[in-house]
Homo-oligomer: A and B are copies of this chain.
Amino acid sequence: MLSRKNGINYYQNAKDDEKVKNVYAGIDIGGTTVKMALIDEEGTIFDKWEIPTDKRESGKHILRDIAASLHQATGRLHNVHHILGAGVGAPGYIDVENGVIVEAVNLGWKNVAVSAELGEALGVPVFADNDANLAAAGEKWKGAGGDADNLLAVTLGTGVGGGIIAGGEILHGYAGLAGEIGHITVLKEGGAPCNCGKQGCLETVSSATGIARMAKEALNQFDGESELKNIQTANGTIEAKDVFAEAAKGDELASSIVRESMDHLGFTLANLCNSLNPQVVVIGGGVSKAGEQLLEAMRGSFTRFSIPKIAQETEIKIATLGNDAGVIGAAWLAKQKLITPEASR
């Protein structure tokens, strides 16, 4: 099926003058959809699509669906793409070395050998890592990270996730928990309880959920005038984006919540930078849509709590890839593992 000429792979059934493009498959498995893309060696997405995540029967159909969809996609592309390998991101605890998803509660998975099973179905090497780590790698490679070898990514969404790239590689730590920066304690006393089992985590004050909770609590104890209160009355609830929007318009209550939340974020990022010295910090997730408003609100606290050289030199940026970060990071993983085998240690 495949021939080689001048170092380039050609499919026999491709037109003679048609160059076959080498690509990596980037796969980002979420609880609702599986995002997939074919990505070339420069990180350009050639094709992307998604399929629903079939969680029935402990998620046993997911890998088969992914393989079928990829086969269909490469067919649709008239075989002009040659898949060199695939990277897979999944939520949960991953045995990176063996490509096994030890546990992914959202998918119903326990001990799923992604690299072995999908590798056999696709006929190419498959590598797996945590989805937050791969989103960090995506932003590093083609997003706001500017291909920095030392980068810290934080995702402010429903929760707070993160990934650390150091010396060009994803940090995993002893049990794969490295990068779980959402559970850094920021409130030593009186913090809200967190899903992780402790309290006062960054996630309780800087996630979308945490910001909304703080707004609701503040409104419960607030007798004055605030547009936030009107929004709560009209919508029956308050979301983080409302808090940022009203703060931008000058609402004092909303501003105080943004200040408090971003003070904790700045404190946490400063201390991480003091100890890890990344070149770039990339802030993503839904809350990061506040953009410059968010950066401005956290910059004072970041500067105040950073070693002066760190405060001066660390670039803090808003993520640029959105939902594509995961598939691009997954392709980066496959490329990195296939090009530098020692990186797979």
Q: Which 10 A-B pairs have the closest CB atoms?
A: A173-B277, A174-B279, A177-B277, A185-B305, A178-B277, A150-B174, A197-B308, A184-B271, A181-B275, A183-B307
**Interface check A91, CB cutoff 8 A:** no
> Are B174 and A275 interface neighbours, CB within 8 A?
no
Chain B min CB distance to A97 (Å): 11
Q: A175-B277, A278-B174, A307-B197 are in contact. Are A166 and B166 (CB under 8 A)?
A: yes
Tell yes or no: A244 within 8 A of B by CB: no
B168 touches A345 (CB 8 A): yes
Among the listed B169, B196, B272, B306, which residue makes an inter-chain contact with A275, where contact means beta carbons less than 8 Å apart? Answer: B272
- Chain B residue nearest to A268 (CB atoms) is B271
A residues 133-167 in Cβ contact with B at 8 Å = 148-150, 162, 164, 166-167
Report A161 CB to chain B, min CB distance, Å: 12
User: Is A313 interfacial (CB-CB < 8 Å)?
Assistant: yes
A198 contact set on B, CB distance < 8 A: 304-308
| Residue A270 at the chain B interface, CB threshold 8 Å | yes
Q: A188 at the A/B interface (Cβ < 8 Å)?
A: yes
User: Which of A173, A175, A178, A278 is the most central at the interface, judged by chain B CB atoms within 10 Å of its CB?
Assistant: A173
Within 8 A of B (CB), among A292-337: 304-310, 313-314
Q: Is A342 part of the contact surface with B, judged by Cβ < 8 Å?
A: yes
Question: What are 16 A-B contacts with C-beta separation under 8 Å?
Answer: A166-B171, A166-B173, A167-B172, A168-B345, A173-B277, A174-B278, A175-B277, A175-B313, A178-B277, A180-B277, A183-B274, A185-B271, A188-B267, A197-B307, A197-B308, A198-B308
Within 8 A of B (CB), among A271-291: 271-272, 274-279
Whether, in the assembled complex, A43 has its beta carbon less than 8 Å from a beta carbon of chain B, the answer is no
In the complex, which residues of chain B have a beta carbon less than 8 angstroms from the beta carbon of A305?
A: 185, 188, 198
Q: Please, how many residues of chain A have a CB less than 8 angstroms from a CB on the other chain? A: 49
Min CB distance, A261 to chain B, in Å? 15
Known contacts A180-B307, A185-B270; 10 additional CB pairs below 8 A are: A148-B174, A150-B173, A150-B174, A167-B169, A173-B277, A174-B314, A176-B277, A188-B267, A197-B307, A340-B342
Judged by a CB distance under 8 angstroms, whether A99 is at the interface is no
Q: Measured between alpha carbons, how far is A148 from B174 in the docked complex, in Å? A: 9
Q: Does A92 contact B (CB under 8 A)?
A: no
A26 interface residue, CB < 8 Å from B? no
Chain B residues near A175 (CB, 8 Å)?
277, 309, 313
**A171's contact among B167, B180, B181, by CB below 8 Å, is which?**
B167
In chain B, what residue has the closest Cβ to A303? Answer: B198
